[in-house]
Amino acid sequence: PTETLRAGLADRYPIDRPLGSGGTATVYLARDLRHGRQVALKVLHPALAAGVGPQRFLREIRFAASLQHPHILPLHDSGEVAGLLYYVMPYVEGETLRACLERGGRLPVEEAVRIAREVLDALGYAHRHGLVHRDIKPENILLSEGYALVADFGIAKAVAEAAEADTPVAATGVAQAGKDRVTETGWGMGTPAYMSPEQIGGAPVDGRSDLYGLGCVLHEMLTGEPPFTGPTAEAVLVQRFTQAPPHVCASRPESSHAMDRAIHRAMSLDP
């Protein structure tokens, strides 16, 4: 839908080029004509947007935009163009934690702990303001100028609400496809490698689910791998309930036993 986007946003956010694409959205580098700056324009995939719906999406984005914290990537704007849902963020010079891990493997212990503390600071602030992220993972943590920024607050909640909604979406081919896509693993609930047991089981979710996800991320920063892996998403999810998380100290002796206990506590089956 790039040409539709270009035409619909030409007078506000002319698109320069795509920056990347993930499970829920495509990100474009664009120019904010009103303020004379580069921005990142994130557009939900059309099938997912059809399932989520503009009202739910814009409500959650508006709530997330109220968050102001040094380690939360702010939201500048949001809207809809020809059925495409988008939101606008600062263009950050840097990389995602995922890119950092893929390039260099596990991180130095001190750096991993610093990033975890900064993400925890952001999550604590968001939780005090009543917002749960629901999808903490390396792809949603940006590293810029030596600092961590948590991105995509509000998106996972809008997707999860769409997946849980009792009322069916409009009976059109695109809308039904959107509903189907929302309920696929990794769209409606979260990302399998980092999902809390309560998310998997459909129980009410609060800030402790974010702490579970961050425990998984810290484990991966220290060891180079997520705590649970498998050939399929289902295999990864089953391990949540059948295996204890591996101990970080086993593969990273220089990490402390206190850190290992903290990760295990964050990843407890009992919230």
Q: How far apart are CA 133 and CA 207, in angstroms?
A: 8
Q: Which residues contact 94 (CB under 8 A, 6 or more apart)?
A: 142, 143, 144, 145
Among the listed residues 11, 32, 77, 135, the single catalytic one is 135
CB 24 within 8 A of CB 40: no
Give the number of other Cβ atoms within 10 Å of residue 21's Cβ. 12
Catalytic (active site) residue 77 = no
**What distance, in Å, lies between the first and last C-alpha atoms of the chain?**
41
Q: How far apart are CA 183 and CA 230, in angstroms?
A: 21
Q: Edge-to-edge strand order for the sheet containing 141-144?
A: 95-96, 141-144, 147-150
Q: Which helix (H) or strand (E) holds 46?
A: helix 46-52
Selection from 103, 117, 182, 174 nearest residue 147 by Cα: 117
Active-site positions read 135
